Amino acid sequence: MSSFFEWLSTSPWANAMNGPEWAFPVVQSLHFIGFAFSIGTIAIVDFRLLGWALPSQSTAELAADLDPWTWAGFALMLTTGPLLFSADAVTYHHNPSFQFKMVCLLAALLFHFTIHRKVARSQAPPLAAKLVGGLSLVLWTAVIAGGRMIAFV
Amino acid sequence: MSIAASLAWIESTDLSTAIREGALLYPVIGGIHLLAIALFGGMVLVTDLRLLGWVMRSRPVLEIVRQFRPWKWAGFAVVTVSGLLLAWAEPQKLYRSPAFWVKMALFALVGVHALGFRARVYGNNARLDVAETAEGKLSACISLLLWAGLIVSGRLIAYDA
């Protein structure tokens, strides 16, 4: 398994990431812009589920309207993320903050495509809606916190 | 007091030292700065996408602009306060960073943008209740470019050391 990460960190795209000085920060900036799209649109739906914003639309309408942009964000994250990881795969996969982030990401994505989707698209009772919106925000916040701490552990 | 002396004084304050040298405080404040992009960036994004007519076309433009406005202000407050704290921790490094000054110029342009488009777009122009307008689309494009620029220049500050 460790040879996979070694191979990854010397792959052509990893070399491209580690080549020019601007490569890593530009890809990382796109990573941030990507989560403004994905987590940003999910957060809007979550605030609606919590009853804090946008009362004029139903949650279902909002979720359906924003879904393509959430997907655009996911597409950006799923390309920039692995690129960033490959730049130093051996170090990152040992990093406890990165591991925490990946666990939270998996949980967040699983939650998003199952319970969150179901509740957002239906007329769920207010308590269920609030719990789902709140949990979604907590999970995605944990992903960002995990990402943030990678450089500090 | 000269600029150099002022910056040195800032770095000598307890607050500056606490953020700069505290194990958790610096990454947490930076994390809040990033979190604001995630939680409030969507509000800026969707306002601009609506002005462009690319999302939520069934709702009037002004309704979307108005509904997201308080959240955009909240996000703006969070990034500004966390940004000020980050700057207070390392003013000398930021003063020497070209990326930081690019970011500050863009930040000033955000203010100019808001004022400049107030009459035609954000100040409840009734024409936007009917359809998207050219000024609305221009305003949205500039907004998206400014915020993308802020994110990129912000990221590049760390590489100016």
Put simply, the answer to whether A66 touches B46 (Cβ < 8 Å) is: yes
Residues in chain B: 161
Report the pLDDT value the prediction gives residue B161, as an integer from 0 to 100.
67
Contact flag B27-A148 (C-beta cutoff 8 Å): yes
Please identify which residue in the block is written with the tokens 């433009």. Answer: B61
Who contacts A60 (Cβ-Cβ below 8 Å, separation ≥6)? A120, A121, A122, A123
Mean pLDDT of chain B: 91
Q: Do A144 and B35 touch (CB under 8 A)?
A: yes
Which amino acid would we find at residue A4? F
Q: Which residues of A touch B56 (CB under 8 A)?
A: 57, 62, 65-66
Tell me, yes or no, if A153 comes closer than 8 A to chain B by beta carbon.
no
Q: Check whether B130 has a pLDDT greater than 80.
A: no
> Domain of A140?
2-152
Q: Which residue has the tokens 């980050």?
A: B86
Q: What CA–CA distance (Å, rounded) separates B26 from B134?
A: 43
Distances, alpha carbon B130 to alpha carbons A65, A144, B51, B58, B133, in Å: 20, 39, 12, 11, 9
- pLDDT, one tens digit per residue, over B13-61 is 999 999 999 889 999 999 999 999 888 888 999 999 999 999 998 888 8
CB pairs < 8 Å spanning A and B: 96
DSSP A125: -
Cβ distance A144 to B59 less than 8 Å, yes or no, reads no
Q: In the structure encoding, which two tokens stand for residue A75, read together?
A: 């597409």
Which residues of chain B neighbour A26 with C-beta distances below 8 Å?
Answer: 152
Q: Which of B30, B59, B67 sits opposite A148 (nearest CB)?
A: B30
A54 three-class SS: coil
* Domains: count for chain A: 1
The amino acid at A128: A
A30/A98 Cα distance (integer angstroms) = 19
Q: For chain B, say whether A135 makes contact (Cβ under 8 Å).
A: no
Taking 3-state DSSP, the helix, strand and coil percentages for chain B, each rounded to the nearest 5, stand at: 85, 0, 15
Higher per-residue pLDDT: B133 or A42: A42
**What single-letter DSSP state applies at residue B122?**
I
A66 with B59: Cβ contact below 8 A: no
d(CA B71, CA B139): 19
For A107-144, the pLDDT digits (tens) are: 999 999 999 999 999 988 999 999 999 999 999 999 99
Question: Which helix (H) or strand (E) segment is B134 a member of?
Answer: helix B134-156
For chain B, give the percent of residues with pLDDT over 90.
65
Beta-carbon separation of B49 and A69 below 8 A: yes
The structure tokens listed for B3 are 């600029």
Two tokens, residue A4: 């996979």
Contact residues, chain B, for A95 at CB < 8 Å: none
- Are A41 and B152 a contacting pair at CB < 8 A? no
Does pLDDT of A1 surpass 80? no
CB of A152 within 8 Å of a chain B CB? The answer is yes
- Quickly tell me which residue has 């639309």 as its tokens: A57
Contact indicator for B153, B103 with CB cutoff of 8 Å = yes
In this prediction the pTM is 0.91
**Nearest residue to B106 (alpha-carbon basis) of B49, B51, B151:** B151
Cβ neighbours of residue A89 closer than 8 Å, sequence gap 6 or more: A5, A6, A8, A9, A14
Provide the ipTM: 0.87
Min Cα distance A1 → chain B (Å) is: 31
Q: How confident is the model at residue B139 (pLDDT cuts 50, 70, 90)?
A: very high
Name the residue among B30, B43, B159 with its Cβ closest to that of A25: B159
Q: Are B34 and A31 in contact (CB under 8 A)?
A: no
CA torsion through residues A152, B4, B7, B8, sign: positive
Query: CB-based contact (8 Å) between A20 and chain B?
Result: no
Amino acid in the structure at residue B131: A
